[in-house]
Structure 1
Amino acid sequence: MKRLLLTGAAGGMGTRLRRALAGKYPTLRVSDIADLGPAGEGEEVVQCDLRDYAAVEELVRDCDGIVHLGGISLEDTFDRILEANFRGTYNVYEAARKTGKPRILFGSSNHATGFYPRETSIDPSMPIRPDSIYGVSKCFGEALSRYYFDQFGMESVCVRIGFCFPEPIDRRSMALWLSLNDLVRLIDRVFAAPRVAHTIVYGVSDNLEKWQDNSHARFLGWQPQDSSEQFREKIEAACGPDSNDDPAVRLQGGKWTVAGHFED
């Protein structure tokens, strides 16, 4: 792995991941539509609008691997998500196909399956149940990556990211929490494994409460090391009692399942 591309590097998770990946690869190419500041040691900074195919083709050229986080990371109108998440992800895959077929880690989301009850243990063989247009866009990305593997042999690992912030904020995010260190460990394994084919992995740490089953992906050799239990006392003190009648409590997508549809 000589050159790794990180898209969405100016976002919240992208900014933290950019720092964590510094020095791990000979060249880290970071990209976003927003300003990324000056390049650090071993970095290449490329400002790029993922909606612009020609620009994306130049962005991915000479890359050995891609961590694709670029796009809108919250619920929004269909038109905005269409351009950033649907078109942008297509451009990344099509450009990668034409410039060497690098392995891709696609940043999917737990919101691709947000309408499953919390007591249901889910795995990637189960039907998608997106809780938002944002979640639908992640289902599209997973299906697109499947097509590019079956049709063109491009390998992808789709990571259904849980809650990748420094600390969980409530009981739901305790179950979905993904530490930055565990994410970096997963990235290491995705690009070190001899073969990944097309694989979907739930991006969560070794939390006490688990809703997802990653047993199918043991071949990656990824073993999360961190747990949200270190925050249990703080969360319990801050959060009041939950109501079993609240869909945001019953369903894995939380409040996203009752937020309704964004309109222009």
Structure 2
Amino acid sequence: MPAPRTVLLTGAAGGLGTLMRELLPPYGYRLRLFDERPVPDAPDAITAPLADREALRAAVRGVDAIIHLAGISLEASFDQILRANIEGVHQLYEAAREEGVRRVVFASSNHAVGFTPRPADGSAAIGIGTPRRPDTFYGLSKGFGEDLASLYHDLHGIETVSLRIGSCFPEPTSVRMLSIWLSPADCARLLHAALTAEYVGHTVAYASSANTRLWWDLSTARALGYEPQDDSEPYAAALIAAQGELDPDDPAHAHLGGAFCTDPPRWPH
């Protein structure tokens, strides 16, 4: 697939969207920005909720691909998750179908499999084939998004890469994050690979940097052409000195989803 020129970036005012607004254009993309909140320093951004079908369809019209980051990125009530993450992603795919957009990159999450036990040191990495075990309504919505992407590929030929993102911040902020950290630069590399890979059908891939303490298998992401360059290990000594090693008997450390597997789930993920 030729490199898209114009890409719709939903959730452009959010934390990840803000990072990608800076890092994606050097790859040759012209970004069209969409968010229900105003996007700072972007007077041409489209400000509307995903529920606004006409605004969303206008945003999708004429783009080569979509990066869908919009929605609630932490746990909330089921009604809130339903509107933003379930109905919202359905509206997005309907707009893509109506306007003939053929490639979507969907921001899924490790929380779709959050109740998967955390790998012990030296054990096999978690693969894409592990059964879904959502840890929250949020994680449940990401599993729905993956299935919706699969359906729209089979019914309508829209290709999607669903990226199960760990934690994308400028640097890891917890010991758990040493295993799931995705540096902003690697995130841009992965999005570029997902946008330009030849044929993806519906591909699910874990999204993180090449961390020494990595918990999951990046082979599916690498097959797209992703070559991560960063590793969280330089941050490990300071984080462990401040927070201690992960305790497998602590419910917040026993599963892949971390504190999202506790009641009530807490942020950050």
Specify the SS of the correspondent of 1:186.
helix
Alignment of 1:111-190 (within 5 A): 111-119=111-119, 121-190=125-194
Task: Specify the alignment match of 2:110 in structure 1.
Answer: 110
Deviation, 1:165, is: 0.8
Deviation at 1:20, TM superposition (A): 1.3
Displacement of 1:68 in angstroms is 0.2
Q: Deviations over 1:43-97 (max 9, x none)?
A: x411121012222111111010111000011100011111111111000001101
Among 18, 24, 27, the alignment partner of 2:30 is 27
Residue equivalent to 2:46:
46
Question: Retained in 2: the 8 A contact 1:110–1:162?
Answer: yes
Q: Is the 8 A contact 2:207 2:221 kept in 1?
A: no
* Matched letter for residue 99 of structure 1: E
Relative distance call for 1:244 and 1:32 in structure 2 (3 A) is: same
- For residue 94 of structure 1, what is the aligned residue in structure 2? 94
Q: How does 1:220-259 map to 2 (within 5 A)?
A: 220-259=224-263
Given that residues 48 and 59 in structure 1 are in contact (C-alpha distance below 8 angstroms), is that contact kept between their aligned partners in structure 2? Answer: no
- 2:78 is aligned to 78
CA contact (8 A) 2:176 2:246 kept: no
- Amino acid in the other structure paired with 1:29: R
Larger deviation, residues 190-199 vs 69-78: 190-199
- Relative to the length of structure 1, the TM-score reads 0.93
* 1: CA distance, partners of 2:245 / 2:207: 27
Q: Tell me the distance in 1 between the aligned counterparts of 2:245 and 2:145.
A: 36
Q: CA RMSD in A?
A: 1.7
- Find the aligned partners of 2:263 and 2:25 in 1 and give their Cα distance: 37
Match of 2:14 among 11, 14, 19: 11
**Separation in 2, partners of 1:130, 1:15:** 27
Q: List, as ranges, runs of 4+ consecutive aligned residues in structure 1 with deviation greater than 4 Å.
A: none
Change (3 A) 1:52 1:77: same
TM-score w.r.t. length of structure 2: 0.91
**Is the 1:163–1:177 contact (alpha carbons within 8 Å) kept by the matching residues of 2?**
yes
What are the Cα deviations for residues 136-185 of structure 1, in whole angstroms up to 9, with x where unaligned? 01000000000001111110000000010111122211100000110111
